[in-house]
Copies of this chain bind each other. A is one copy, B any other.
């Protein structure tokens, strides 16, 4: 019996009988795996795609189906709405959003090719209405296309790159268009001849010397040995559902309680590392709390337990949320006046911690010293009335005085309130989707894309909606194409 492990590859010499052979073996049927399969098949490869679940989906199907696209003078939707989005501004934003030691090459190639990628998505049958929905929203309530989905118009990003909305949402009414996105990609992959196997769980890679030549899957308790003539593409998602991996690589996520993913247990990262692949920026994670629901709460002000603001709240909700959990004290407060408060969504698990006719009363009810929170709000309101935020450069129209009592402080407790999160670190890959080893060389025969890699969504403090699907669809294609050429 061959010893199977995520942590050690199986030698091809131990394989008695190959149960299946393909040119390209893709593992995982979210958006990244689907795009890899489509491109590999388009290049003429015989493609076998294996998925652990009973159908396509992955975390992509849980998303809003929003893809971050811009540059090149703008997409149709951007231009129609009056935004000419230069490639240089797009690239600058991607690099800032990626944080320290961002993968510049990935930002550069995507900035150049995003428009063509948008056309490619449409050619796969992904529908877009093409209109613009202004305002600060998480996902459109209707089937609109273009939304602001990052921190483009907020400091400090606005000072470095001309802002433009770049979130392109699939035509789907309401939230959850990611399912439709994956359905369209599945249809395209099947039409191009990719062979799909579901309920099949990757267990080990198979190597011949340094080269990856296949993978072992478990089906109904039995191992299945699958040979890949040209390459294996890992597209199995992140590791947010693997507590043991988070403990070792991403400990700060234990401050919060709501992982989001779909079987994102780090399988692909472990398999990639077993063959010598490098995993990078493993500490990074996205988090958000739904503080801009209801929408008028976007005008709120956050303070920490010392009664201080800590961010320009007009930046992306995930950047605000990520900065929230950097604060000492285990919780923060969202301050609202009666003009901007309405009952928060139940799932947010945010409680009213204090109310008052004045900010002084709210401050006292929270047990804060006099002239902490109240002084913060006095300063804030005085300047907001003049359209300025001297501390953090928050901009109108989000910037408004909160001066219509009574007032409320909502408590966002890191442990008990809803802070969803997923991981951003993963395998180090080239722009062509080759898995790189710790010396920077490609691991022959091994490719990867999506959240099992470290890509465009690189830094929790800079995340913008649509970056992850941009990354997994575009670099999924890159990986599939490269793998098809061996």
A339 within 8 A of B: no
Interchain CB contact under 8 A, B375 and A391? no
Bound-state Cα–Cα, A270 to B438, Å:
8
Contacts A101-B247, A379-B371 given; indicate if A391 touches B438 (C-beta within 8 A): no
Q: Mark A258-277, 1 if CB is under 8 A from B, else 0.
A: 00000000000010011010
A360 within 8 A of B: no
A461 and chain B: residue at smallest CB distance: B328
User: Nearest Cβ in chain B — how far from A132, in angstroms?
Assistant: 31
For A, the interface residue count at a CB cutoff of 8 angstroms equals 48
User: Which residues from chain B contact A252 at a C-beta distance below 8 Å?
Assistant: 100
Cβ-neighbour of A251 out of B101, B246, B248 (below 8 A): B101
A16 within 8 A of B: no
Bound-state Cα–Cα, A8 to B209, Å:
12
Interchain CB contact under 8 A, A392 and B306? yes
Contacts A251-B281, A326-B326 given; indicate if A375 touches B368 (C-beta within 8 A): no
User: Nearest Cβ in chain B — how far from A210, in angstroms?
Assistant: 8
User: Nearest Cβ in chain B — how far from A360, in angstroms?
Assistant: 15
User: Which residues from chain B contact A248 at a C-beta distance below 8 Å?
Assistant: 101, 278, 280-281, 428
User: Which residues from chain B contact A390 at a C-beta distance below 8 Å?
Assistant: 368-369, 372
A308 within 8 A of B: yes
Scan residues 44-78 of chain A and give those whose CB is less than 8 A from a CB of chain B: none
User: Nearest Cβ in chain B — how far from A65, in angstroms?
Assistant: 30
Bound-state Cα–Cα, A228 to B71, Å:
58
Bound-state Cα–Cα, A251 to B438, Å:
16
Bound-state Cα–Cα, A368 to B307, Å:
19
Interchain CB contact under 8 A, B379 and A6? no
A383 within 8 A of B: yes
User: Nearest Cβ in chain B — how far from A435, in angstroms?
Assistant: 13
User: Nearest Cβ in chain B — how far from A164, in angstroms?
Assistant: 24
User: Nearest Cβ in chain B — how far from A192, in angstroms?
Assistant: 35
Contacts A308-B308, A437-B7 given; indicate if A283 touches B283 (C-beta within 8 A): yes
User: Nearest Cβ in chain B — how far from A182, in angstroms?
Assistant: 30
A120 within 8 A of B: no
Interchain CB contact under 8 A, A391 and B280? no
User: Nearest Cβ in chain B — how far from A47, in angstroms?
Assistant: 29
A193 within 8 A of B: no
A438 and chain B: residue at smallest CB distance: B7
A99 within 8 A of B: yes
Scan residues 269-296 of chain A and give those whose CB is less than 8 A from a CB of chain B: 270, 273-274, 276, 278, 280-283
A254 within 8 A of B: yes
User: Nearest Cβ in chain B — how far from A256, in angstroms?
Assistant: 11
A249 within 8 A of B: yes
A255 within 8 A of B: yes
Cβ-neighbour of A249 out of B99, B280, B372 (below 8 A): B280
Contacts A282-B283, A306-B391, A306-B392 given; indicate if A254 touches B8 (C-beta within 8 A): no
Contacts A7-B437, A247-B101 given; indicate if A375 touches B369 (C-beta within 8 A): no
Cβ-neighbour of A369 out of B309, B391, B437 (below 8 A): B391
Bound-state Cα–Cα, A244 to B439, Å:
10
Q: Nearest 4 CB-CB pairs, A to B?
A: A369-B390, A101-B251, A283-B283, A100-B251
